[in-house]
Amino acid sequence: MVPKPFLILTLLGLVATGCSSNGGTANGTAGSSQSALPETNPATGNPVSKYISHVVVIIQENRSFENFFAGYPGANAPTFGCVEAHNTGARSIHRPARQSGSACPSGDTQVPLEPITFESHIDLKHDWYSSIADWDHGNMDGFYQFGEKNGQYEAYSYVKQSQVAPYWDIANQYVLADAMFPTEFGGSFTGHLTLVAGTDDLKPNHAEVDFPNGEYDDCDSPKGTISSYITPNKHSPYVPGVRHPWAGPYPCFTQWSTMAQDLDTNSVSWKYYATKLLHAGMWEPFEAMQYVRKGPDWSKNIIAPQTKILTDPGNGNLASVSWVSPSKPDSDHPGERSDLGPSWVASVVNAVGESPYWSSTAIIVVWDDWGGWYDNAAPKILDYRGLGIRVPCLIISPYAKETSPSQPGYVSHTQYEYGSILKFIEEAFNLPPIGSTSAGYTDTRANSIDDAFDFTQQPRTFTAIPLKYPRSRFLHEPPSNVPVDTQ
């Protein structure tokens, strides 16, 4: 689809904002003053479809909500954490789960969250088993078990606000969602699958989990590569599932439909921006889905390198739906010792915001898993997969809800899951659900993120997000040629 009509004054305002509020924001931008794109008739149906005809989903890496937003005003983001009273030698599994934002469960130790930087070389365990241990039956006090060389409380940390300033700037202008939960407990592999499919069920009561055991994680994996899966726990009401290691199928999945089929069937354009096409280590997830990897979408919808998202909007080439993954150095992945991630995300936001697409676009920034970092919010257990441990989410649009005209930032407390993003895409393009809840799909049960928008308010003109690193830094970076994560 192409953008909906917009006023000449609005277009002139967007062109004017092509200059950065600091010297680096718009550096390297191509075509930010393109002429108006062809008009189209507004969509009908859900109100979202009357205003939004472009959705961009930016997927970052391995951070809990509190690791980036501890202390954010108005959010469920305390600056302390809870440590299980583990010296008693027994888990108190019969304690009632703590309420989000409340004091620690009885007997727990309360510890302050320590400020850290991206340069801290910490990559905490973040697979199925560690997420279940961190969660601790809803008490959210098991994170102490996975500290590394600097002690058992390493997970009880937050990144200094100065290092994540672009994320706080976005939150202050647009919407910060403080109740976004992954579909499943565990790490990055299933996070990315469910962000495009809303499920990772292999068959009823069997869901993919963690990374496969081979060199690659996709349809190009060596013969004999196998994965793992989880099933419902029949013996304990306190644990959502049971992991079956290395008992799952080859990672070229045909077991579920994805948003790709939905978009193709309804002639809605889409792209997935990734660092490279083959052996990208699941960055992008369609590489592990036979419909795309072995079909015509592979050569036209998977875009590499990912830096093309920085020029496509200004050149009039933004698809109706886009997913964007960073390279490893530009990710927020712990242990990389790189602070490029926030500037990378803000560069993508600025590239869209400074283009003619701004007036019809919603941008969602989400993190694929919690990375092992402390978070206080106990997820609701909706099925044997999860929900998983909370992650940050930012929602950016000219129609993003405001607290008040004088206070543009807004904190949404609505419970979202990854299916909430897919449901919003379906609303924007009048698409049917990918599948039914009974078949394991989450886009039907999820709350849409549409309540983070106010289509009655005056659409706002885009103001560029200040950056530490200029956009040109990313446009000219060499490819990293390594997967972003392997857990």
| Backbone φ and ψ of 145, nearest 5° | -75, -10
Q: What is the pTM of this model?
A: 0.88
Non-local CB neighbours of 242 within 8 Å, separated by 6+ positions? 230, 231, 232, 233
Residue 135 predicted with pLDDT over 80: yes
Residue 215 burial (CB count, 10 A): 11
Residue 122 burial (CB count, 10 A): 18
Non-local CB neighbours of 465 within 8 Å, separated by 6+ positions? 25, 166, 169, 170, 173, 346, 349, 350, 353
Separation CA 273–CA 348 (nearest Å): 11
Separation CA 70–CA 80 (nearest Å): 9
Q: Please tell me whether the peptide bond between 305 and the residue prior to it is cis, using omega within 30 degrees of 0.
A: yes
Residue 266 predicted with pLDDT over 80: yes
User: Of residues 158 and 479, which shows the higher confidence score?
Assistant: 158
The residues of the chain that CATH labels 3.40.720.10 are: 8-67+161-198+253-475
Highest mean pLDDT among 69-78, 205-214, 218-227: 69-78
Give me the mean pLDDT over the 181-190 stretch.
96
Separation CA 339–CA 124 (nearest Å): 18
**Angle 186-191-197 from CA coordinates, rounded to 5°:** 135
Give the model confidence (pLDDT) of 433-463 as tens digits. 999 999 999 999 999 999 999 999 999 999 9
| Backbone φ and ψ of 203, nearest 5° | -165, 175
Give the model confidence (pLDDT) of 144-158 as tens digits. 998 766 667 999 999
The answer to whether 11 touches 356, Cβ cutoff 8 Å, is: yes
Least confident of 182-186, 467-471, 479-483: 479-483
Least confident of 8-12, 118-122, 171-175: 8-12
Domain 8-67+161-198+253-475: CATH architecture, name and number where available: 3-Layer(aba) Sandwich (3.40)
pLDDT number for residue 347: 98
Concatenate the DSSP letters of all residues of 275-344 into one string. Answer: S-SSS-SSSSGGGGBHHHHTSTHHHHHEESSGGGGGTTTTTT---SEEEE---STTS--TTS----HHHH
